[in-house]
């Protein structure tokens, strides 16, 4: 069944993005969109709110987000009159990690950082997408070399779900045009050099010429992924 659904969605990938969002509702599938309130996610929230209200929305609150992220979260639900289900880390493993290793253990090793991401993001994600057939994301090829290899529709083996990236081939210039035309709320940190915004302790502004995700876990030589999108 999953392969059949995958093929159905793959046939839609040549459609304009608005038509793709609309047509997904005809497939009799349970659809969910994950937002972290970056530019990509704000554009998709606007498209979903205006073209396919059947798509559910969720976000992951790690407990370490920027206050500016909470601000755009609040402005978004007020503008679109849409609830965004919020998932938090489980208290017990988070408490154990911080008690035993301290609040900044993720700076000490990649293993520690991955443990923090697993507790704060990956486990809540699995709860968030449970029961859905399709997970919609705001991934774009421009964000990093790693993401440049993605297909618009793929099977996520680790989460047993179809993933679709409607903005995969969009440029930042195209997103900015839509944001300006539709008065879409955006995080003010984007104007301060923060291209990709995650947890506050793990995010910095990028320098000219760096990849968009270079400011994430900047102290590591890694693929700049937390494990949500492997």
Query: Which residues are tagged catalytic?
Result: 226
Location of structure tokens 């396919």: 52
CA atoms within 13 Å, Cβ hemisphere of 84: 26
Q: Residue 98 and residue 68: Cα distance in Å, rounded? A: 24
Q: What is the DSSP letter of 105?
A: G
Beta-sheet pairing, 161-164 with 153-156: antiparallel
Cα 150 from Cα 26, distance rounded (Å):
25
d(CA 23, CA 51): 9
Question: Using CA atoms, how far apart are residues 75 and 37, in angstroms rounded to an integer?
Answer: 10
Class of residue 46 by CB neighbours under 10 A (exposed 0-12, middle 13-18, buried 19+): buried
Q: What residues contact residue 120 under an 8 Å CB cut-off, 6+ apart?
A: 60, 62, 63, 64, 89, 94, 199
d(CA 37, CA 15): 25
Can you say whether the dihedral through the CA atoms of 92, 95, 101, 103 is positive or negative?
A: positive
């Amino acid at each position: 069944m999953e392969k059949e659904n995958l093929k159905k969605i793959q046939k839609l990938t040549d459609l304009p993005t608005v038509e793709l969002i609309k047509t997904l509702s005809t497939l009799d599938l349970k659809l969910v969109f994950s937002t972290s309130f970056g530019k990509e996610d704000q554009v998709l929230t606007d498209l979903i709110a205006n073209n396919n209200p059947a798509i559910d929305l969720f976000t992951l609150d790690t407990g370490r987000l920027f206050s500016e992220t909470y601000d755009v979260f609040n402005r978004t639900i007020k503008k679109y009159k849409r609830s965004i289900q919020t998932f938090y880390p489980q208290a017990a493993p988070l408490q154990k990690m911080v008690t035993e290793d301290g609040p900044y253990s993720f700076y000490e090793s990649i293993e520690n950082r991955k443990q923090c991401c697993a507790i704060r993001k990956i486990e809540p994600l699995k709860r968030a997408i449970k029961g859905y057939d399709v997970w919609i994301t705001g991934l774009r090829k421009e964000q990093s070399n790693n993401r440049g290899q993605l297909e618009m529709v793929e099977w996520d083996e680790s989460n047993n779900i179809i993933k679709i990236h409607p903005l995969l081939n969009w440029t930042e210039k195209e997103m900015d045009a839509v944001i300006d035309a539709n008065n879409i709320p955006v995080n003010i940190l984007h104007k301060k050099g923060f291209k990709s915004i995650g947890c506050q302790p793990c995010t910095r502004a990028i320098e000219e010429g760096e990849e968009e995700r270079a400011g994430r876990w900047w102290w590591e030589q890694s693929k700049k992924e937390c494990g949500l999108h492997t």
